[in-house]
Chain A
Amino acid sequence: MVAELKYEISQNAYIKLVLHALKHKTTAVNGVLLGRVNPQNESVVEIIDSAPLFHSNLALLPPLEIALIMIEEHYGSKGLGIVGYFHANERFDDAELGIVAKNIGDHICRYFPQAAVFLLDNKKLAALPKGKDQSPVLQLYIRDASKNWKLAGPDGGSQLVIKEPAANVVLSDYISSEKWQDVVDFDDHLDDIKMDWLNPELFK
């Protein structure tokens, strides 16, 4: 997509994903982003919610297929679809977008061509409590004309903003209070279906 797209992520969607990554520090984690194209402005993708997926064996199809079916069924009735994919690498100093993330990203693009992939920026996350940075601790990747995933740089067209400017302050707060313990993902749900991957009580 050549148009300069802007991705606007809601505070809750953003925080949920980062907390999920913090809950499972020693493994890679992933999640999907739910939203829609802004009905008033076609060049803005609104990310309204997120669903944490897995913290083990991210590259196996069965759990992923089940999760996507249930997620699409739930959010479809609200007029939202999967608009992006989130991935956090296993190791702190691994800042590369791996093959699994690219493949899942490609799959999502088949249904939503403007889909983006978000990679957790570990260094930025580590620096969070010290700075006053309002920008998200995520790296934005979009597909270029040849369908390769490219990092969207500050000079590039696309950009990612958090809807609520104080989100990082809230996030830092949650980190100090170890809120990540309350995050439920799809792995948890499949292990015990009483666990609700919608996390309805997380931000109450």
Chain B
Amino acid sequence: MEEEVLGSIFALSGSLKLGVQRKSSKWTLYEQVAIAAMDCQCLDVAKDCIKVLQKKFPEGKRVGRLNGMLLEAKGLWAEAEKASSSLLEDNPLDQVIHKRRIAMAKAQGNISEAIELLNKYLEIFMADHEAWRELAEIYVSLQMYKQAAFCYEELILSQPTVPLYHLAYADVLYTLGGLENLQTAKKYYASTIDLTGGKNTRALFGICLCTSAIAQASKGRNKEDKESPELQSLAVTALEKDYKQRAADKLGLLVH
């Protein structure tokens, strides 16, 4: 991965030297190369690009952001935080700067601060789906599954046809456990299969796991609540077919 990025950096910086003619894209290129260079810890390349941009846009907010990122890349957290705070004073609604502060908290291991900042950010920018996902993943890593579920609920409400959110929600519900959650999880694995034309391996497995877990959880309960077994057998058939076609050596491992 790193090689590709490095290759792109040098290709991009090459085209910069050749004097790309179109006005706006030249400066955007410098910005992109700077960020890519920081990603690979080529801080000298980044510094050079930022210097060029600084000359052209001495009061620029975007240059200010890049300088902040450079401080982050160097691990100079106190300075980076100061830089982003002052940038925020002038630009209180700049999403990128807000997100850099969250990234900094995360990078330093202040997960609770990252969560707090991210929640505050989402109060303002509640349509930022990536931010909701980020928050959900942080909650999952801390085993705060209820909170993660809430994030996915928001995502499903705003984008009901994105299968990724249905799948993630189902995974979280299954992890939470309990008969009701398992039954809901099964529904969302089913909707994932629906939205992906039956091709999502994780959702197919999810149906199988739910069926077992629900059977376990409802032992001794009213037999009238028994679920119809069709969904389970459909899922199993689909999985077996797929494995037979594409991963036949693993077919025997499908113990369910």
Contact = CB atoms under 8 A, between A and B. Distances in A.
Given A66-B209, A91-B107, A99-B143, A61 B253 contact: no
B255 A73 contact: yes
Interface in A35-68: 56-63, 65-66
A63 B109 contact: no
Contacts of B157: none
A70 interface: yes
Contact of A57 (B1, B137, B250): B137
Interface string B132-150: 0000010011110000000
Nearest to B239: A193
B140 A70 contact: no
B171 A62 contact: yes
Contacts of A93: 109
B250 A190 contact: no
A63 B171 contact: yes
Interface in A60-93: 60-63, 65-66, 69-70, 73-74, 91, 93
B43 to A, nearest CB: 16
Nearest to B256: A69
Interface string B228-256: 00000000000000110011011011111
Contacts, number: 72
B253 A70 contact: yes
Contact of A59 (B141, B168, B209, B254): B141
A196 interface: yes
Contacts of A63: 171, 202
Nearest to A99: B143
A23 to B, nearest CB: 8
Contacts of B252: 73
Interface centre among A69, A178, A189 (most CB of B within 10 A): A69
A70 B201 CA distance: 14
Nearest to B141: A59
A181 B1 CA distance: 8
A100 interface: yes
Interface of A: 28, 56-63, 65-66, 69-70, 73-74, 91, 93-94, 99-100, 103, 178, 181, 189-191, 193-194, 196
Interface of B: 1, 3, 107, 109, 137, 140-143, 168, 170-172, 174-175, 201-202, 205-206, 209, 242-243, 246-247, 249-250, 252-256
7 closest residue pairs by CB, A with B:
A61-B175, A70-B253, A193-B247, A73-B253, A60-B171, A194-B246, A66-B205
Given A69-B256, A100-B141, 15 more contacts: A57-B137, A60-B140, A60-B171, A60-B175, A61-B174, A61-B175, A62-B174, A62-B175, A62-B209, A70-B254, A73-B255, A91-B107, A99-B142, A189-B247, A194-B246
